[in-house]
């Protein structure tokens, strides 16, 4: 697997994607080693060029927002939430002034509820770093309206796949649906050479599963915790960084999925995926 896909989009319908968002504000600070996040940053910066057109809006599903239901940001100009700690002072001055999209947020909530899931809109919630860090790399002009969507705090994979299914029609309105998390997120495993083998095993399973026909993909992802080394990659009750992938996969409908980015960072493979 190369570090980045250069394939051109195959249709005018907006794809859905899952991106690794890195560690805190990693792309905007010095790191040791210096090039740890370089390839991931280049991948994020190249995503816009792979799309069939510029999105009219972005629906961002961040690993860093959990609620009892699927809640969308409904403010016209959401503020910034610096939900990381211990980083250089300048990283708390980062700004991503993208407008919100209140009408889209209401539509998202209605689609969720039509699928017999619990939806909602928060006009007070701001943009957390699972949203603004990758989008600062992907669309630095911050001129595309963005709605953020929460995960559900019971971490039920099937519910997140179903939420994605409910939102698939937004792709025909040129809404780009982005899951933002990490394909591996065991905090004790990062930087440990012993983590590479189980992380690679789970990463390989994910790549194979993403490429399955839709019905089989749904079945496998809904039971992801049974996959090889799954709980070494995402310990129990810490899988919030994987669940944005479920929403992206659900919104893919019957479209094929593929791994479009992989790089070894801090001893483990971290990957990005695209559907459609």
Residues 6+ apart with CB under 8 A from 144: 54, 55, 56, 57, 58, 98
Res 36: pLDDT: 96
Is pLDDT at 11 greater than 80 in this prediction? no
Is pLDDT at 9 greater than 60 in this prediction? no
The whole-angstrom distance between residue 168's C-alpha and the CA centroid of its chain comes to 15
pLDDT in tens, 154-203: 999 999 999 999 999 999 999 999 999 999 999 999 999 999 999 999 99
Is pLDDT at 2 greater than 50 in this prediction? no
User: 4 or 13: whose pLDDT is higher?
Assistant: 13
Res 217: pLDDT: 98
Is pLDDT at 96 greater than 70 in this prediction? yes
Res 120: pLDDT: 97
Is pLDDT at 104 greater than 80 in this prediction? yes
Res 134: pLDDT: 98
Across 62-68, average pLDDT: 98
Q: How confident is the model at residue 143 (pLDDT cuts 50, 70, 90)?
A: very high
Is pLDDT at 241 greater than 80 in this prediction? yes
Q: How large a percentage of the chain has pLDDT more than 70?
A: 96
Across 257-266, average pLDDT: 97
Phi, psi of 260 (to 5 degrees): -110, -5
Is pLDDT at 261 greater than 50 in this prediction? yes
Average per-residue pLDDT in the chain?
A: 95
Q: Alpha helix (H) ranges present in the chain?
A: 38-50, 102-114, 129-138, 157-167, 196-210, 214-222, 230-233, 243-251
Question: To 10 degrees, what angle do helices 214-222 and 157-167 make?
Answer: 140
Bridge partner residues of 261 (DSSP): 272
Q: C-alpha dihedral over 226, 228, 230, 232, to 10 degrees?
A: 130
Pick the CATH number of 16-275 from 1.10.3720.10, 3.40.830.10, 3.40.50.300, 3.30.1370.10: 3.40.830.10
Nearest to 185 by CA among 133, 243, 227: 243
Domain ranges of the chain: 16-275
Across 253-268, average pLDDT: 97
């Amino acid at each position: 697997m190369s570090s980045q896909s250069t394939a051109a989009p195959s249709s005018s319908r907006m794809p859905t994607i899952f991106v690794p968002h890195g560690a805190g504000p990693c792309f905007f600070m010095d790191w040791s080693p210096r090039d740890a996040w370089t390839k991931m940053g280049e991948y994020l910066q190249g995503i816009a060029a792979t799309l069939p057109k510029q999105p009219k809006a972005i629906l961002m599903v961040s690993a860093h927002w959990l609620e009892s239901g699927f809640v969308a940001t409904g403010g016209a100009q959401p503020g910034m939430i610096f939900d990381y700690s211990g980083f250089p002072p300048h990283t708390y001055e980062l700004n991503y002034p993208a407008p919100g999209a209140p009408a889209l947020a209401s539509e998202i909530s209605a689609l969720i509820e039509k699928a017999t899931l619990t939806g909602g809109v928060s006009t007070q919630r701001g943009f957390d770093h699972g949203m603004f860090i990758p989008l600062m790399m992907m669309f630095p002009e911050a001129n595309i309206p963005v709605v953020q969507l929460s995960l559900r705090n019971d971490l039920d994979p099937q519910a997140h796949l179903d939420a994605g299914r409910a939102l698939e029609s937004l792709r025909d309105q040129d809404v780009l649906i982005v899951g933002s998390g990490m394909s591996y997120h065991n905090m004790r495993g990062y930087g440990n050479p012993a983590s590479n083998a189980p992380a690679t095993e789970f990463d390989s399973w994910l790549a194979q599963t993403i490429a399955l026909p839709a019905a089989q993909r749904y079945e496998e992802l809904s039971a992801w915790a049974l996959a090889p080394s799954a709980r070494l990659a995402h310990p129990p009750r810490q899988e919030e960084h994987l669940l944005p992938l479920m929403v992206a996969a659900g919104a893919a409908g019957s479209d094929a999925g593929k791994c479009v980015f992989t790089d070894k960072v801090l001893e483990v493979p971290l990957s990005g995926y695209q559907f459609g």
